[in-house]
Structure 1
């Protein structure tokens, strides 16, 4: 079974965290990294992620890429 992989472009993140709020599996979390804009970015917990794309659809800044 092929699962969709979610890639995160930390440089684009502005810290709105809609992706965290709308992930049905709580697979998006704070990364502990601060990007050049000064925002704490997010990361994907691949064990929890089901590849549904909710983070991709909710993000206004195109932080996520589905593969």
Structure 2
């Protein structure tokens, strides 16, 4: 049996401008602004490590291109059949 793979956001710390839109948009509250600063002097967004449902709201509300990507694991038919 393979390990369960879950969706997660990937955030480019350098590109984040700390507007907080992704944090506000997340329905699960798994994003937050960091205590540290990025090289441009902003508190960048960071992921808490679990709880992402892959809805993409953070991605669609972010005004900065190349800041956020959502990783959605592919599920093949065999994996779905094994879970049933």
- Report the TM-score when normalising by structure 2: 0.70
Greater fraction strand: 1
- Report the TM-score when normalising by structure 1: 0.85
Given that residues 18 and 33 in structure 2 are in contact (C-alpha distance below 8 angstroms), is that contact kept between their aligned partners in structure 1? no
Once residues 51 and 15 of structure 1 are traced to their aligned partners in structure 2, the CA distance between those partners, rounded to angstroms, is 21
Structure 2 stretches of 5 or more lacking a match?
72-84
1:37-56 to 2 correspondences below 5 Å: 37-56=40-59
Q: CA deviation at 1:2?
A: 4.3
Question: What does residue 65 of structure 1 align with?
Answer: 69
Once residues 57 and 30 of structure 2 are traced to their aligned partners in structure 1, the CA distance between those partners, rounded to angstroms, is 11
Q: CA deviation at 1:33?
A: 2.0
Once residues 25 and 8 of structure 2 are traced to their aligned partners in structure 1, the CA distance between those partners, rounded to angstroms, is 17
Structure showing greater radius of gyration is 2
* Aligned residue pairs, count: 67
If asked which structure has higher relative contact order (CA below 8 Å, sep 6+), I would say 1
